[in-house]
Amino acid sequence: MDLFNRLILLAQRQPDVSLYFSYELAPVPSSLFKDNMMRKSDKAALGRLLSQDVVVFDLQNWKTRVVVDGGALLHRVRWQKVSTYSLTADHHVRYVINKYGRNAVVVFDGYCSGPSTKDHEHVHRSARVAAAVAISPDTVVHPNQAAFLANSQNKTAFISFLVKHLKDANVQVMEATGDADTQICSTAIHKAADVETVTVVADDTDVPILLTHHWQTSMADIYMKHEARGKSSEAFISIRKVKLNFGCGVSCRLLVIHAFTGCDTTSGIYSHGKITSLKKLAANSVARWLDDLECATATQEEVGVAGNQLMVALCGGVPGVDSLAKLRYSTYTKLCTYSKTAVRPEQLPPTDRATYFHSLRAHVLVRQ
């Protein structure tokens, strides 16, 4: 047997090296987790993209109906150092009435005692947490407002205390069963469907994404109000203009793209920013996989397959042709060839199994 045939037989006996890359090279999926915590995504970048060329600085009669994010309100109203909790609650009430009117609707998060899907996000936000405090009307407020509110027990107690003051002042209050974003958007959408112009006051990028996804052209206008902060003046974002800018196809899939690429309850993907991910996943070639991931009747297997194909597309592969294991292997060989530093596991695409569970989490979030 000549040397050429021997080489062919030797190559046929060699296993496919890419199969080894179907396994994690670290205790946790490093491309999705860092220090055992879900990776943070750059939601602010997507928020800036949404607000491009859709800002209205002078909106007349915007106070017709206002929906306020109570969580943002808690941080926006600054506490006086020597004030009591009763006076502080009254200060919040005056702020709402003077700035938004008595017809405003204030929506607060609902906090439960057990685990929640936003536990990782709460840990990210709580750089410093105060001890639990017993709230009473005449007690002097905690000196560090941010640390006080970072403690969920304190925050829940103060929300209950504030809700009573708001109701006594005839301000409509809603307490969500979980995260307030869904309740805020649901309230705004229902009022817009009744042909009532709505202004939503919230800081979270999730809110305009939800509004853009659910708003229909037959509804009244909805505006997102950005409060004045630092050198920036207050401005209003027209959800109608946002939807027109993105187009119906992207707008309808914006929510599932946002969930898959990382938000408060799903992990971000290492080295994949929000803007570049949006451009890749907004292509018509992956529309069917986005629809499958969002479909209410999809099985776990169908969601897993859809998420796998989306991750392949996101990592530069061809859906239906390439596999994540092969992409991990090809990425590894390129890094070994060209990188001047050691290869880190997070630089590789996620494995099939990590992507499967990530897809299930994104699916559940979209269907809530």
DSSP 216-236: -TTSPPEEEEEPPBTTBPPEE
User: How much is the pLDDT for 319?
Assistant: 93
User: How much is the pLDDT for 284?
Assistant: 81
Low-confidence ranges of the chain (pLDDT < 50): 1, 4, 7-8, 10-11
Class of domain 46-246: alpha beta
Neighbouring residues of 48: CB distance < 8 A, sequence distance ≥ 6 = none
**What's the chain's Rg over C-alpha atoms?**
24
Structure-token pair, residue 187: 């309230």
- Write down the H helix ranges in the chain: 3-13, 43-50, 70-76, 85-100, 119-125, 145-150, 152-168, 180-193, 206-214, 239-260, 274-281, 287-294, 300-314, 324-338, 352-367
Burial class (CB in 10 A: 0-12, 13-18, 19+), 73: buried
Secondary structure class of 362 (helix, strand, coil): helix
Residues 261 and 268 sit within 8 Å (Cβ to Cβ):
yes
Secondary structure class of 22 (helix, strand, coil): helix
What residue ranges of the chain are covered by domains with CATH 3.40.50.1010? 46-246
Bridge partners (DSSP) listed for residue 238: 223
Distance CA 222, CA 220 (A): 7
Distance CA 165, CA 168 (A): 5
